[in-house]
Chains A and B, each alone.
Chain A
């Protein structure tokens, strides 16, 4: 196990950043699994720096009006709506 192996606190912190609640037993399980997986990811240190001959071009299309989903279709899958809008929980 390397010195900077992931701790349960780090797993909780990352879960908070990612907005995924975890049960205590999930934290324990993930801590153990992340230790192995991240240790394996560390073998990327052996990868040499590589010149990237990226041949990238932006692809643009004309900015034209197009049909979009109508409001009813866009709201169809929402659990709560109000006056034609999505209704979410309070922000704070």
Chain B
């Protein structure tokens, strides 16, 4: 069976000279590439060819990188396994027969399989960190606003960031150096806080002396036993190198998953309204008026998970339910932010397992969407709080990769990279 890592294999050469010359990069297929189809893992965009590059792609090219393909993903970024892709699931190179995680599963798999040196994914609720953990590679979810989202096909704007994958923390940080920074086409971006002669890659010194690690107890509860053991072994390794840990409590994270899904689905229901089959994308042959044709086009073009989220998002925003779901979810989001701010006032970084479980077997988990949503418990709070996080390989349980997640303060990527580089 082919690993099905790429939806489109295509060599896009970058500039002759640059910090990434001679480096190959896989790009998640929801990031626009001029002249090369960008499907979002959906039948809806199976033939869509963007007329422009995303800002991150422009920066990759300018840095001399060679893009080697558009990586497989859950449809529109909606999923935790890369099994909702219209183009079939991706096998996990680090654990064959298991899912690579999602939604940037193809990107993580490309690095794990050696098909690319580096990769770009997008992380709305863990979609870079989950596949990094499942595939045994490094993934960074940058602070909201550090990386431009111009040219990223939007799913949930207030939550998502484009993030890099690499085999080592230093590799991923080098890609972050290339894509980070202000973009006048995305008003949510900011300049990097780096000093003039500094880079994220330079921060990968492996030094954790006197690093104070907070471990949120809530993010260990209910996790798989083998995952928790592997996590503590990794914390032990950091302790051996001079770090200290203490337990912290984040009561708000108990409500993060439901808040995340209400907000993400609500934003999705609005964002995906653009797919009407008129200007681009799949178009139904159905006869009828605008509404009938529109609804038929979307029936044919969207898969189950996308329909589920559009409908639930529409429901959550509809008259009579807005206060019950959406407003409450925004309260929970503010609470999560406060909790993290407080915990990070007494720790340099927070640590948890990235995923509470090892990679699922292919096909194991598709039938029960709620169970799948619950698997995102450790990653979604970070998106709600707009914070940066990194997933590094922590070891294995029963031969399956386990990731350790470190969370830092807003724009504290250097600190995270330094700490994580002690492990990979």
Contacts and interface: CB of A to CB of B under 8 A. Distances in A.
A77 B281 contact: yes
B311 A11 contact: yes
Nearest to B369: A33
Contacts of A21: 295-296, 298-299
A59 B187 contact: yes
A77 B290 contact: no
A78 B316 CA distance: 32
Residue of A19, A30, A36, A86 with most partner-chain B CB within 10 A: A19
B328 interface: yes
A88 B278 contact: yes
Nearest to A17: B314
Interface string B268-292: 0100010011111101000011111
Nearest to B50: A77
B335 A20 contact: no
Interface string A29-40: 010011011101
Contact of B49 (A16, A22, A77, A92): A77
Please classify how large the interface on chain B is, using the bins under 10, 10 to 19, 20 to 34, 35 or more. Answer: 35 or more
A37 B370 contact: yes
Contacts of B273: 18-19
Interface stretch (B67-75, B217-225, B258-266, B396-404): B258-266
Given A20-B310, A89-B290, A47 B335 contact: yes
A51 interface: yes
A24 interface: no
B142 to A, nearest CB: 18
B50 to A, nearest CB: 8
A1 interface: no
Contacts of B322: none
Given A86-B278, A89-B290, A44 B262 contact: yes
Contacts of A40: 258, 370
A57 B316 CA distance: 27
B302 interface: yes
B318 interface: yes
Contacts of B184: 61
Contact of B310 (A6, A18, A51, A86): A18
B307 interface: yes
Nearest to B190: A59
A36 B370 contact: yes
B51 to A, nearest CB: 4
A42 B280 CA distance: 37
Nearest to A46: B255
B269 A18 contact: yes
Nearest to B287: A89
B295 A20 contact: yes
A90 B286 CA distance: 12
Contacts of B252: 47
Contacts of B316: 41
Contacts of B311: 11, 14-15, 18, 20, 30, 34
A22 B325 contact: no
Interface in B309-324: 310-312, 314-316, 318, 324
Interface of A: 6, 10-11, 14-23, 26, 30, 33-34, 36-38, 40-52, 59, 61, 69, 73-74, 76-80, 86-92
13 contacts: A18-B269, A18-B273, A20-B302, A21-B299, A33-B308, A37-B312, A40-B370, A50-B338, A79-B277, A79-B283, A88-B278, A89-B278, A89-B289
Given A18-B298, A43-B258, 15 more contacts: A14-B314, A16-B295, A18-B310, A19-B273, A20-B298, A21-B299, A33-B369, A37-B312, A46-B255, A47-B331, A52-B330, A59-B188, A73-B51, A77-B48, A88-B276
